[in-house]
Every structure is written in C-alpha cells, then in structure tokens.
C-alpha cells in the first residue's frame, strides 16, 4: 500500500514538474515575442496602400532611395518563397495554382520573418500592398508592431484601368486576366476592402491624390515621413 502511495506521489510530482517546465517555456516564448515586437516598434513602419496602377511602386522606389528604408512586398515575398523550392514554397505554389487564397497566417509569417531578418540594419520598413483588408491590419499590429503611418495613394478607377491596360499591352508575357472586365472586378474588390481599412485606421492614414506629377506626390510623401521620423526621435530621447 505504501509503495502504491509513494508511486502516486512521485507521479504527481513529475506531472507538476512537467507542467511547470512547459509554462516556463511558454513564458519565455511570449517574453521573446514581446522583446522582438518592442525592438521592431522602434523602427518606422509605414503601410503603402493603393490599387494596381496607382503609382505606389514608383513612390516606394523614391522613398527607398531617399531614406534607405526596407521595401517589403507581400506578393514578392510569396513569389520568392515559391522560387526557393522549400516545403512551404511548394505548399504555397499548390495553393496559388489552384486559385485558392493564401491564408493570412502564411503571409504574416513571411512578413514577420523578413522584418526580423532586416531589423538590425534597417532604417524603416515600407509594407507594400498589405494589409489588403482590415483584419490583416489588426493581426499585423498584434503580432509584429503597430504601423506608424499608412499612406494611401488615391486614384480613380478609370485612371488605374487605363494604366493597367497600357502596362499589359507593353508586357512581353500576356496575362489571361488582363482584360477590362476582370480588372474592373479586381478594382471593385480592392475598393470595398480598402474603405474598411481607411475607416479603421483613419487617424494614422494620409490620403494622397495620386493623379498628379510624380514629384509633387513625392513632396507630400516626404513631409509625412519626416514627421514620423521626428516623432520617433523624440520618443527615443524620452526613453
């Protein structure tokens, strides 16, 4: 009887020890995640929003040239992962070929990994084409860091359509979905999703008329980014 009781006590102690070790590991993981989020939040993070053909790619290139920021495109990250031939890349390729949407968790994981790799040497991050819907923005800020600014390049549907069709006509490789009906459908989807994002993040969003001269647009972009950098500098001095 005493032997059975002793074994029971030992078993309970072992289980308690295992649970304590598991909790300690979870606490360490959470602490590490908080540490990473804190260090990333010290670096300017700017969301670049705008429909296809709005000219945001041109502006991103000019921002990178002037400020040395890291330009991250969710689409490029997905394509790079597929091209790498990794297990995850093959899974993503199967999803994309089938026409299914890539889960946001996968996109966010790629963004998080890219930011973590670059944060030591980066002066700032341009997150291009993300978030595409408000829940993506919420998850980004919860898991990575809050965005300091969202720049929305506002462009009419007709202007974007004209630019996309012109770009498609000049392309060497023709895409089956580069026709007016499909493009208009994509633009309508973009408009619906973006209106929700702009409403949720109204206080941190700068809307810029993107149907003007490139340099005039960039002057407005520079003014906004300079304000973010000045704010970051003040915060670092307080800390």
Query: 110: which residues sit within 8 A by CB, 6+ positions away?
Result: 74, 77, 78, 81
Task: Quickly tell me which residue has 């809307």 as its tokens.
Answer: 207
Say how far apart CA 223 and CA 130 lie, in whole Å: 22
pLDDT the model gives residue 13: 62
For 98-147, what is each residue's pLDDT tens digit?
Answer: 766 788 889 999 999 999 999 888 999 999 989 989 999 999 999 999 99
The DSSP element (H or E) to which 107 belongs, if any, is helix 104-118
Are 56 and 155 a contacting pair, CB within 8 Å? no
Neighbours of 44 (CB within 10 A): 20
Return the bridge partners of 150, or none.
Answer: 47, 205
* Helix, strand, coil percentages, rounded to 5, for the chain: 70, 10, 20
Query: 177: which residues sit within 8 A by CB, 6+ positions away?
Result: 183, 186
Are 149 and 46 a contacting pair, CB within 8 Å? yes
For 2-38, what is each residue's pLDDT tens digit?
Answer: 555 555 555 566 666 677 777 777 766 655 554 455 4
The fold adopted by the segment(s) 43-231 is Rossmann fold (3.40.50)
Task: Provide the edge-to-edge strand list for the sheet that holds 70-73.
Answer: 70-73, 125-128, 45-50, 149-154, 205-209
Task: Quickly tell me which residue has 């704010």 as its tokens.
Answer: 231
Say how far apart CA 75 and CA 93 lie, in whole Å: 12
pLDDT the model gives residue 170: 84
Higher pLDDT pick, 189 / 236: 189
For 63-77, what is each residue's pLDDT tens digit?
Answer: 999 999 999 998 889
Say how far apart CA 50 and CA 64 lie, in whole Å: 18
């Amino acid at each position: 009887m005493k032997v059975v009781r002793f074994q029971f006590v030992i078993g309970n102690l072992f289980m308690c020890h295992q649970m304590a070790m598991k909790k300690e590991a979870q606490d360490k993981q959470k602490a590490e995640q908080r540490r990473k989020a804190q260090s990333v939040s010290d670096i300017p993070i700017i969301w670049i929003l705008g429909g296809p053909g709005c000219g945001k790619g041109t502006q991103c290139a000019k921002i990178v040239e002037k400020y040395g920021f890291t330009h991250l495109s969710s689409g490029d990250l997905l394509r790079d992962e597929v091209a790498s031939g990794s297990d995850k890349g093959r899974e993503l390729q199967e999803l994309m070929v089938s026409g299914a949407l890539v889960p946001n968790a996968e996109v966010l994981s790629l963004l998080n990994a890219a930011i973590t790799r670059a944060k030591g040497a980066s002066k700032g991050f341009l997150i291009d084409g993300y978030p595409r819907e408000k829940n993506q923005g919420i998850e980004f800020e919860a898991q990575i860091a809050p965005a300091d600014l969202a720049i929305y390049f506002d462009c009419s549907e007709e202007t974007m359509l004209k630019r996309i069709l012109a770009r498609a006509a000049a392309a060497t490789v023709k895409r089956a979905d580069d026709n007016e009906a499909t493009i208009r459908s994509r633009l309508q989807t973009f408009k619906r999703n973006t209106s929700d994002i702009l409403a949720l993040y109204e206080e941190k969003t700068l809307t810029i008329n993107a149907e003007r001269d490139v340099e005039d647009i960039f002057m407005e972009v520079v003014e906004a980014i300079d304000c973010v950098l000045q704010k970051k500098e003040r915060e670092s001095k307080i800390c």
